[in-house]
Amino acid sequence: MANLQTKRGCHYKCTFCAYPVIEGRGMRTRDPCGAAAEVETLLEEYGLDQFFIVDSVFNAPRGYAEAVCAALRRLGRRIRWSCFVTPGNLSAELLDLMMTAGCQSIDFGTDAGSNRTLRAFRKSFNVDDIHAASALCRERGLPFCHSLVFGGEDETWETVAETIATMDACRPTAVTAMCGVRVYPETPFAQALIGRGEVPGVEALYEPYFYFSPAVRDGLTETVAAAARARGNWFLPGSKVNDEDRLFANLRGRGLKGDLWRYLARLRLGRALGPAGA
């Protein structure tokens, strides 16, 4: 799978995220035809037909994703791609354009399924948006994954339970969950923690530093692991729960490629695993 970037930067203000720090706080877009030409070169000269669009958020700024899809459309039967999407700005029309242009699955940067935790992260959407975006994918049979971060500010056992319940109601193909918020230097979250004296200084963040809301510090990892184990389609990177490393190695061994979690629905139903993109 090759990576493709159609823009840099992110104008959203999620407190913990390093994208705006690394790439800038505004979005700078490429000429969509230039991006499509790059894809065509990779396809024709190197045989690469699977892509991950690594943009911070594919479906922003408004109107640009539509232009990228229009540019990729003529290649849409020959390539397959995936991307990061915000649940707050996804219309049926855009999703249809994405699928026509070769989109085979999407990864929602959801982070939480509780309005209280979403507000604390300063996400730009709410739980209703998560349900609506999930329903659009389900209606089209498009595999989708929600990525979560448990343990952020204002997280309580109640919000943890709400997030798990939201995921159950949305019925995603897969869930990727992390416990503890990695605090990166220069993010609003890092500045707040340093300002409050909870972190002694920025140097403390150069080693991996994870924040856990005090209300759930004890037992969060075990609780999320139990939820993952009970569901089977949740992955906790770095843990052996549901052992995605083994599963994905097995799928790769069969010659499958791209974002392999999308095969989970077929595996659960006991269906044959077709070629990539099928």
Residues that bind ligand SF4 (CB under 6 A): 10, 12, 14, 17, 19-20, 56-57, 86, 109
Say which DSSP state 31 is in. P
User: Of 79, 82, 80, nearest to 58 (Cα)?
Assistant: 82
**In terms of CB distance, is 10 or 133 closer to ligand SF4?**
10
Least distance from ligand SF4 to the Cβ atom of residue 160, Å:
20
Amino acid identity at 97: L
Radius of gyration for the chain, computed over Cα atoms and rounded to the nearest angstrom? 19
Q: Where are the beta strands (DSSP E) in the chain?
A: 2-4, 7-8, 28-29, 50-53, 80-85, 103-111, 144-150, 174-179, 181-182, 210-211, 234-235
Separation of alpha carbons 264 and 261, rounded Å: 6
Least distance from ligand SF4 to the Cβ atom of residue 109, Å:
4
Least distance from ligand SF4 to the Cβ atom of residue 122, Å:
8
Label residue 113 exposed, middle or buried (CB < 10 Å: 0-12, 13-18, 19+): buried
**In terms of CB distance, is 118 or 164 closer to ligand SF4?**
118
Separation of alpha carbons 34 and 72, rounded Å: 10
**In terms of CB distance, is 10 or 103 closer to ligand SF4?**
10
**In terms of CB distance, is 144 or 263 closer to ligand SF4?**
144
Least distance from ligand SF4 to the Cβ atom of residue 106, Å:
13
**In terms of CB distance, is 121 or 234 closer to ligand SF4?**
121
**In terms of CB distance, is 30 or 123 closer to ligand SF4?**
123
Least distance from ligand SF4 to the Cβ atom of residue 25, Å:
9
Q: What is the DSSP string of 138-203?
A: HHHT--EEEEEEES-TT--HHHHHHHHHHHHHH--SEEEEEESEE--TTSHHHHHHHHTTSSS-GG
Least distance from ligand SF4 to the Cβ atom of residue 86, Å:
6
Q: How many CB atoms lie within 10 A of CB 165?
A: 13
Least distance from ligand SF4 to the Cβ atom of residue 108, Å:
10
**In terms of CB distance, is 49 or 129 closer to ligand SF4?**
129
User: Of 101, 54, 104, 38, nearest to 73 (Cα)?
Assistant: 101
